[in-house]
Amino acid sequence: MTLGYFIYKIILVVVVFAITMVIAMYSTYAERKVAGFLQDRLGPNRAGWFGILQPVADAVKLFMKEETIPSVSNKTLFIVGPALSLLTACMTGVVIPWGTSLSFFGENYSLQIADVNIGILYIFGVVSIGLYGIMIGGWASNNKYSLLGAIRASSQMISYEVAMGLAIIALIMTTGTLSVGEIAAQQHGWHWNILIQPLGALIFIVCAFAETNRAPFDLPECEQELVGGYHTEYSSMKMGFYLFAEYINMFISATVISTFYFGGYNMPFIGRFVTDPNLLALCGVAFLFAKIFFGIFFFMWVRWTLPRFRYDQLMNLGWKVLIPLSILNIVLTGAWMMRHEILNVFIK
């Protein structure tokens, strides 16, 4: 616990926070660009080269807009809502291993802020309190649409958290650890968890879509029925906070999916070409981000392809399809792990 250690941790936190923010900013731009390209349009291309300054223009616009707080709303909670949303969205990045470790002057510096031995549960905890931002904001607006949107959001997130947790249990059974860093380290070479747990990965990805309230599960903010869902009454940068939180959640979801199931910072065969450990670590970071960017693109690709679910379909999928499937996955995984013992029983 030296001073240098503290400085390095603080630098790491700041860098992760800055990267999260920049990626969230440019996700808004990427979303519009991808949507445009998928719909035979060009997307924003006026602000700067290929529209690269569009997020800056958007941010300026959101800051400049008039800020309205409904007079019948609960003012404190109305402000707390979006702040909480953004805060919880930013908190998950702490346990993600962004790379192996860099070594300078004989000291090893891990590229993970905190290797908590219950990292997976930490992610779940943060995700589960993430919905308070939406619920509080929706309730404090004192608006029927907002309340309905908030209630939809929370019931959807609670329902899909169950299936997500059950999918993760199968993963924990095969990896034997709750630490995210260890899970990432175990997947070196071709030992990606998606090859071991394909069904679990599928369930996890579907649940991740529902948890981030992205299409085709974007019922909380469906424009057609609920005007704007929980952020109907929000304007200016508070609205921006909610949108920002959604994009950060998307980034974090892509990160978690690539860390849990797609090898994290590992890439097969890279050890043959690069031998320097520092360079290898940096390559790992680059690979992780390549996977994350593909994940974000996948989120957008799905959003602009699939239509929105009806609410009963959503609940049916969550409770009657994904939860039984994930339990089946647990049973199958358990049977596979105990196959020798089971065979012994039959042989005797």
Judged by the rule CB under 8 A, the positions of this chain that interact with another protein are 34, 37-42, 77, 116-118, 121-122, 124-125, 127-129, 131-132, 135-136, 139, 147, 150-151, 154-155, 158, 161, 178, 301-302, 304-306
- Calpha distance 205→161 (Å, rounded): 12
CB of 272 to another protein, least distance (A): 32
CB of 224 to another protein, least distance (A): 20
- Calpha distance 329→197 (Å, rounded): 8
148 or 288: whose CB is closer to another protein?
148
100 or 112: whose CB is closer to another protein?
112
CB of 101 to another protein, least distance (A): 23
Residue type, 233: E
CA distances from 234 to 16, 67, 161, 250, 280 (A): 28, 8, 27, 21, 46
CB of 48 to another protein, least distance (A): 15
CB of 129 to another protein, least distance (A): 6
- Report yes or no: 253 and 295 within 8 Å, Cβ to Cβ: yes
87 or 270: whose CB is closer to another protein?
87
- Report yes or no: 207 and 321 within 8 Å, Cβ to Cβ: no
CB of 233 to another protein, least distance (A): 15
239 or 300: whose CB is closer to another protein?
300
CB of 118 to another protein, least distance (A): 5
Which residue, among 309, 331, 24, 332, has the nearest Cα to 160 in the 3D structure? 309
155 or 236: whose CB is closer to another protein?
155
99 or 138: whose CB is closer to another protein?
138
14 or 321: whose CB is closer to another protein?
321
Which helix (H) or strand (E) is 101 found in, with range?
Answer: strand 101-104
- b/e map 140-161, b = 16+ CB within 10 Å: bbebebbbbbbbbbbbbbebbb
- Report yes or no: 337 and 197 within 8 Å, Cβ to Cβ: no
